[in-house]
Structure 1
């Protein structure tokens, strides 16, 4: 069996042979708000890293705010000397970048698996949850679904414009689910799908959604939770790049239009034992009910993860298929936790609350934490929406309330890590306060 460094070195050398025109590779990781940070490495230096040379980046790069600034969070950022932290290359993620003007490669990096993982790095948080489940004999299978909007490449005084129909040249300003929209925008959508597949992402179904210029991409079911989250993160990056190449602007913003549906991140999760038996289907599906109860109990305390910014909270305003309370139901898209119709082998939950711009590593970690908690607590869930359309429990819809609810919840602190929870909540609090530090034109209209 090859050592990790030998495997990585073989991967880099094969890449160089297949892509001799690539001179640089972007080494990237996802920060707390869900943006990629990293360094652009000469491919010759990447080979040295693969062979075992140190790869270090500032630890506090993970703490960047939504606009890229650093906040004082405890002793981090301003009282710690801004130390470097080790990263490692993620095997299997070295791929060509086809949407840039010059040949380029990219590869994921992470602190998980190093001698001193960064406790608040999103990928490390998910790694710990998955390792804990594995030790308990629980093996998740995961599939993400992501909604996004296409806009015209040019903004109008900073505001988005409807994407232009390639056939008519008119604005695609009509909300619909018509299959014809897939045909009209097939050139850019096909390129998005092909580019994603080149990145190793298992793309399945493409759907025209209700909003004008809105689409949904489904990914295949994956028995590696980290890989499933990697796919979601990398798809957002490649899709934005491909859209710009075709004269569009792709956005995973949660609620770009008040009058049209927002964009969500739906996550399908089933749980299996080592023998491949579906744990949720055992004992007349009683574990499924327990898992749902756990998800709903912790959901109000994970809102800063599921709705990570001011705009994401706008999406939860009662529009089409967007839940306004923590609820569940069979084949019910108004529920936060939907149980799709399936045979016992494929029985799963579909978690529908997260916004499309949420951090996929943290969203999956929070969902798995809820399922784990439910299986341990063995409580019955509240009444389903199928039995009572008014069933549900409230969750916070203001960021500061949501942060307090998350930071004070003992189960969340225990299962996601107290250090992560404190850092994450302070990051969200500071982002929210920074967002409020600008006076908008509406304030002058109302109060001048």
Structure 2
């Protein structure tokens, strides 16, 4: 990512390179993982970059899964809907090529302002990162995201398999064959190229097992906030590029009941200021402590890892999505996999989150679990390599998951009590909205 000495120079350089750009979208991720923001004329962006005010309603962060506001405590309907300051995230001003007219976009956040929003996802992660940095711990992070391609048009509201660009047939034969990358190479390469232009260090492309399912990996990043920024921006650009090429891309956790779900896999290692891998300490006992902390907190963090009703359908499926909290060496059935590596690169791969989870919150939850395990020198349950039945139960429905999270003292300490309250209420109201419709199946069963 190009570094600039200050924000005004970044904006000036962008305008010189893209003189035809008239508007820039200033965007930020809400709790369910959707972008909100405003579209600014680019000359107004120069004023903001020079120190002008940038404010958006505080309650944008509280939007539900469908974009509506929920009555959460005194927020939204009893607080006057106040504005809150935001700041521009340096290095994130990039072109948007998937719109009909060339535009720009730039990330914004309340973290680092005079009045950060306690429950904003990026601020939640920023607090966790600050706590670790104060202790001399530097996380190195790499995201991997699975997604499906569908035909752009829905049929009776349901997704259709994507059409093979070479044959025109529906891609209904799930497999891992390299030829699938060849057939879809035009759209996949455009996704990677566009992501890189957004500052996302995307690299390896894999054809996954599901029909029209793929995975794209990112390089390891020594800035946790930037790693999560990249994951969020990748989802946005991938959807845009897919539409350009006649497809619909989705990070929905479980679009097909009879095919694998899509996961967000997060690789995390911890280093000290001298570059030593802390997980390798004490003959790798530190690794076991970190794993144990993640496993102990995992059942109380499910609303983060599985942010909607569909996400819970992924657990217990036959392909690489566990139904209990578990770990193992080189074991993809485990929630926490330890890839084979030397001591320098020792890391965990946290595989539980759905691909549509909020990357800031997922990373904050993982790091908090690792920190908790290291601080208390916890010992994990047996790995799956030793006992295939090893595991800790976790909730597989939204209301039970919220109940397990909202009263847990350690989770509130690590992520913030106000955030836990807001997230729990947000998910509870989403559940009520989701249930507020009589489905065709109900008529078939009960009419």
The residue number in structure 1 matching 2:252 is: 253
CA distance in 1, matches of 2:262, 2:317: 13
| 1:172-191 Cα shifts (integer Å, max 9, x gaps) | 00110010000000000010
CA distance in 1, matches of 2:298, 2:281: 24
CA distance in 1, matches of 2:66, 2:313: 19
Q: Give the alignment of 1:65-80 within 5 angstroms.
A: 65-80=64-79
8 A contact 1:5–1:52 mirrored in 2:
no
8 A contact 2:4–2:10 mirrored in 1:
no
| 1:25 pairs with 2:24 | yes
The residue number in structure 2 matching 1:43 is: 42
Q: Give the alignment of 1:9-24 within 5 angstroms.
A: 9-24=8-23
The residue number in structure 1 matching 2:305 is: 306
Q: Give the alignment of 1:77-88 within 5 angstroms.
A: 77-88=76-87
CA distance in 2, matches of 1:116, 1:253: 33
8 A contact 2:161–2:212 mirrored in 1:
yes
Task: Give the secondary structure class of the aligned counterpart of 1:57.
Answer: strand
Q: Per the alignment, do residues 380 and 6 of structure 1 end up closer, same or farther by CA in structure 2, a change over 3 Å counting?
A: closer
The residue number in structure 2 matching 1:223 is: 222
| 1:203 pairs with 2:202 | yes
CA distance in 2, matches of 1:185, 1:338: 30
Unaligned runs of 5+ in 1: none
8 A contact 2:56–2:85 mirrored in 1:
yes
The residue number in structure 2 matching 1:234 is: 233
The residue number in structure 2 matching 1:144 is: 143
| 1:331 pairs with 2:330 | yes
8 A contact 1:5–1:50 mirrored in 2:
no
CA distance in 2, matches of 1:92, 1:439: 47
Runs of 4+ in structure 1 off by over 4 angstroms are none
Q: Give the alignment of 1:34-433 within 5 angstroms.
A: 34-433=33-432
| 1:341-396 Cα shifts (integer Å, max 9, x gaps) | 00000000000000000000000000000000000110110011000000001000
Using structure 2 for the length normalisation, give the TM-score: 0.99
8 A contact 2:239–2:250 mirrored in 1:
yes
8 A contact 2:27–2:37 mirrored in 1:
yes
Using structure 1 for the length normalisation, give the TM-score: 0.99
| 1:202-252 Cα shifts (integer Å, max 9, x gaps) | 011000000000000000000000000000000000000000000000000
Task: Give the secondary structure class of the aligned counterpart of 1:266.
Answer: strand
CA distance in 2, matches of 1:17, 1:248: 33
CA displacement at 1:195 relative to structure 2: 0.3
CA distance in 2, matches of 1:91, 1:161: 40
CA displacement at 1:6 relative to structure 2: 6.5
Aligned length: 445
CA distance in 2, matches of 1:106, 1:164: 31
Task: Give the secondary structure class of the aligned counterpart of 2:239.
Answer: helix
CA distance in 2, matches of 1:371, 1:312: 23
| 1:159-202 Cα shifts (integer Å, max 9, x gaps) | 00000000000000011001000000000001001000100110
8 A contact 2:4–2:91 mirrored in 1:
no
The residue number in structure 2 matching 1:443 is: 442
CA distance in 2, matches of 1:282, 1:127: 26
Task: Give the secondary structure class of the aligned counterpart of 1:249.
Answer: strand
Task: Give the secondary structure class of the aligned counterpart of 1:134.
Answer: helix
RMSD: 0.9
CA distance in 2, matches of 1:288, 1:382: 13
CA displacement at 1:319 relative to structure 2: 2.2
CA displacement at 1:282 relative to structure 2: 1.2
CA distance in 2, matches of 1:46, 1:241: 23
Task: Give the secondary structure class of the aligned counterpart of 1:144.
Answer: strand
Task: Give the secondary structure class of the aligned counterpart of 2:324.
Answer: coil
